[in-house]
Structure 1
């Protein structure tokens, strides 16, 4: 009787799960509150990681996702990368219509198989299987099953259930079991405030997130990674491509990277070695040597985009880069490091989480899951560091810009690896200085000669103009100054001073209808070339803190020559606004038939509670209002 009862109970569980799963395959069962603001809904996800041995790990994933509209297609992500060290044991997908009826089934043989980096022979081992499906109707649901087996226990998948805005989650689960007792470590981030159930032991982790409404982006909010839940995972002892390693902290991790991944990969051809020695023969300053070598790499190699996880974590050898003249961030950084070593210049391979959003390494938790890019640190005599991105063929030496600035990274040094912060560009040095002489004619037209100079992160946003076509350059200015009617860019000249990291634009422009004629009056905006009308969005109920990741400074000096026979009827008033968010100052005067306009806007970086968002928004509204102020000229009687 007991056996029959157990059999009935197990049968009940199977039937219940089957019925529950069928409910997830139709969009008709979607809760209304999960479809609000959502492009897709994750109905069910379970990622199960089992460490069987230091050289045997399995990942089993089941995911059911309902796509509500075209904008949600990319969230399906029915794909998997593989190589000789990552074997796909199972990959299947089934597509269902809104009623839960099967549309199409994909077995492993039906997935499209292609190289992860097409056309580059050094990465032929890295490939991707992906489901090639083009939806014809919405909503539709995809059920995806994946099982991977790997001999690498070094880079275990962390749990990040919320991956995108406009993406709701019905249920997402993660489990990890360390049967090999490798020293499981984990760190929770931003767990509180979400419907998360967890159960952890020495060797197991279990997390489930349920009933998560779709998030909408908010202006000036923290980086997505800094407010959504994550569980970082690592083991103290691991194997990577047949090499055993131990890393309980960043010092040990850095030693492992140096000894297991970089050591013995710095040889180049004798010809290149001789070139480097000749290139630096008459230079004594190591920083000047580094600059020459950095420029040599820029002129003789090209970058191909390959994520750290593809092709492995180990860079291709410097010799391979030397021969093929291309590489990813790992390969080009290692190559540059090797060339610097030939010239006797010390440098450090550094791992960073790159992107416009600033995301730090966790100083108290070492893991291989952190980081998506490699840059190079070069020490100076004063113990400061110069940072270079060896993948860029256009950036100046010692300028990394917004892609990797102001964040904690791992700097790999022999027996002394540490987490350090990259260059922070001060708000006041992220500057744009504009000077213009503007002549207004009595038909409302305008002609101007102006000079605009940018520094810091504003340089980063401007200097690539010099590489654009004539057509694109003129189109850029017309869009940039779209509030100037009938703008014509007559002449332009650029000076990109890479030594000073300064970009200068000299322009001659005109506009037929700059001023509006009404009777015997001319009306025109006083801020001709830097009108800032940006006002952050209004939120009835702001959810996130206010964060200004990078500040900047704009200074403008414009001199207007008014047409003969006109006098000033109205000028904007002088304005001074100063608060914790920045400074806005405008000074206007009329003298000798000329209007002198000086403007300063400084926005300060910082993080503030969400309760202050409206205050900052009011500040920007005042800036926008004053930037749109008008001059009124009247014909003299």
Structure 2
């Protein structure tokens, strides 16, 4: 919801088919894992290509067996694919965990206010980050969370990542019952340890525990320690794991050497740090207590924009032996530029080939398109997360020879080819994924970014290139990286720029249909729909599917009972504002209702809204509509001569700051034309407007029920 209309419309959209990670985790685990989990994912982590398929991890409620461990491992690997921004880790320890005071975790000790609207309560969560140098630190963390019902099962599971720059020295885990009595300890054999590398050049591994306990409520406690040998980001503090999760107590302490400076930024957090000295270091401590759960509401903001968070970032850092400065975006961008220095060179033979390829191009933009399509035909994406390779691209010569690379390497290779054609371009690092946090100009922080794209400035325009996909239209970023800040990496250093924003006029779905009705209420419809801009993503996956898969997807996505797909076809124009055309030939039995000699024919055949957003008393959160779009449906009904048109409804139109709607019906003898235009605005509205928001959609639901009535007057 908010990104596009929900599944109550006639056609499921890209948001419906490709459920985002936010939906799988209730917008909570994603937030918590992505930025926090006591440590932001390592700077080597990158997003997968925009075509990546995302799957939710599902809880299994049986004692673990060998088969179940294998199944759980598969679920975790899907989680990795969806959530590459979350990287922390743990290791099992034989040392006994220090027990709490008897009954400390008893559910009866939770304040009543923290149980309201809550599926789980964080009882305690204490983080200590002890920095000793620009590249060395130790983080210890101990937390306990009470799982009140199975809706919070995912919060009981434990999954932590480690790599060459992070070593986990210990972990201890204990399960307690509702009275705070110890049930059992986490056993070593419950830990799954697997490589989560998706390419040849990754050293990332995962240790995970599936916590299974069939009696609710229960509490799970974990304690672990991480040692760092390279640092580009400091552990963040996200005390609230997400919607419908309460926090009883959480704290974060940072110990910083006297001769080192760092920066911090709080969001949705009014807590001031207690500053002192400890172990001859500067000490900063933040504490939060008794945070009541926030109920998930329709069209709620992303969790990262709702919940308290503390971000910390170094001024001076050292990563894999490379020293740098992150006090400003300019200095950090210069470090990245130098890191990639000299890696965009190609051999003379390849340079000559590129020049020959673009020799007949009429302008620079045509040259860019030729090179981009050559990139797509020659290369494929493969993740590279080994050591400094997580930040430093492969040399362009290497990619040219092997035909593969990650987002950095493929962007660098494209940059090298453009350079050979006399066109200047720049790397741009960005936070990729729907709803991802945009870079904030006032706080340089590596955790905002997880992907790299290419920026090609032209004389009067800018072309953005997503270099990891073999199928992405030229110059089209899509919802993966649109409308957010990116860091342009230039010779002078980093510069904040904004990526393409796709407007209501860009994101269109234009449908034209011809429908013939027989005396039994059956319909034969020929439908042509053109999807443009972000609405192109609604059917983009169909172009990489075979005919059988395409047809199965149509059956699932078209919300029409008794439908037979006689034929269908897809074509596309792959451009900066791409367009996909879908042609359908449908037979629909009993489409219209027959009552005696009268036939009641619904006008809106494929794009009907059937329900309104859920009513909520005293809404607390803002209303966020994430995408602006325009839908136009023109449906021509050919009514047979033996049916007399008895009733045609009046036209309907209304406007509001949420959008506009218009439905008109015109008649030319037995040809009835129904035209529906819906425009939705992208915006954020205060919670006080929710009644108006519901009223707007109520009008749409009512108007979408338009029907005409015909009367049988003679039989042929």
Whether the TM-score (by the shorter chain) exceeds 0.5 is: yes
- 1:56 counterpart (133, 136, 155): 136
Question: 1:39: which partner in 2?
Answer: 119
Q: For the residues of structure 1 that align with 2:190 and 2:558, how far apart are their CA atoms?
A: 51
Question: 1:85: which partner in 2?
Answer: 165
Q: For the residues of structure 1 that align with 2:390 and 2:553, how far apart are their CA atoms?
A: 40
Secondary structure of residue in 2 paired with 1:331:
helix
- 1:280 counterpart (351, 355, 358): 358
Q: For the residues of structure 1 that align with 2:525 and 2:121, how far apart are their CA atoms?
A: 54
Listed as ranges, the matches of 1:411-426 within 5 Å are 411-426=488-503
- 1:533 counterpart (610, 627, 644): 610
Which has more radius of gyration? 1
- 2:195 counterpart (115, 138, 159): 115
Displacement, 1:273? 5.0
- 2:327 counterpart (224, 230, 248): 248
Q: For the residues of structure 1 that align with 2:539 and 2:651, how far apart are their CA atoms?
A: 30
- 1:105 counterpart (186, 195, 198): 186
Secondary structure of residue in 1 paired with 2:584:
strand
Distance 1:351 1:48, change over 3 A: same
Q: For the residues of structure 2 that align with 1:299 and 1:24, how far apart are their CA atoms?
A: 61
Displacement, 1:591? 1.9
- 2:505 counterpart (421, 428, 437): 428
Question: 1:6: which partner in 2?
Answer: none
Displacement, 1:423? 0.2
- The structure, 1 or 2, with the larger RCO (C-alpha pairs under 8 Å, 6+ apart) is 2
Contact 2:320 2:388 in 1 (8 A): no
- 1:227 counterpart (285, 306, 322): 306
Secondary structure of residue in 2 paired with 1:524:
strand
Q: For the residues of structure 2 that align with 1:173 and 1:308, how far apart are their CA atoms?
A: 33
Displacement, 1:268? 5.4
Question: 1:516: which partner in 2?
Answer: 593
Listed as ranges, the matches of 1:60-79 within 5 Å are 60-76=140-156, 78-79=158-159
Contact 1:106 1:131 in 2 (8 A): no
Q: Does residue 573 of structure 2 align to residue 573 of structure 1?
A: no
Q: Does residue 467 of structure 2 align to residue 350 of structure 1?
A: no
Q: For the residues of structure 1 that align with 2:140 and 2:520, how far apart are their CA atoms?
A: 73
Q: For the residues of structure 2 that align with 1:148 and 1:358, how far apart are their CA atoms?
A: 27
- 1:161 counterpart (224, 239, 245): 239
Q: For the residues of structure 1 that align with 2:135 and 2:707, how far apart are their CA atoms?
A: 72
Contact 1:24 1:43 in 2 (8 A): no
Distance 1:302 1:69, change over 3 A: farther
- 2:670 counterpart (582, 589, 593): 593
- 2:266 counterpart (148, 173, 188): 188
Q: For the residues of structure 2 that align with 1:510 and 1:628, how far apart are their CA atoms?
A: 21
Distance 1:578 1:133, change over 3 A: closer
Q: Does residue 454 of structure 2 align to residue 376 of structure 1?
A: yes
Normalising by structure 2, report the TM-score: 0.80
Displacement, 1:479? 3.8
Q: For the residues of structure 1 that align with 2:162 and 2:439, how far apart are their CA atoms?
A: 27
Contact 1:495 1:505 in 2 (8 A): yes
Question: 1:14: which partner in 2?
Answer: none
Q: For the residues of structure 1 that align with 2:453 and 2:658, how far apart are their CA atoms?
A: 32
Distance 1:106 1:554, change over 3 A: same
Distance 1:138 1:316, change over 3 A: farther
Question: 1:179: which partner in 2?
Answer: 257
Q: Does residue 407 of structure 2 align to residue 329 of structure 1?
A: yes
Deviations 1:145-193 (A, max 9, x none): 221121323211222222322322222211112115322111221224x
Displacement, 1:141? 2.7
Contact 1:442 1:564 in 2 (8 A): no
Q: For the residues of structure 2 that align with 1:398 and 1:371, how far apart are their CA atoms?
A: 20
Q: For the residues of structure 1 that align with 2:214 and 2:104, how far apart are their CA atoms?
A: 20
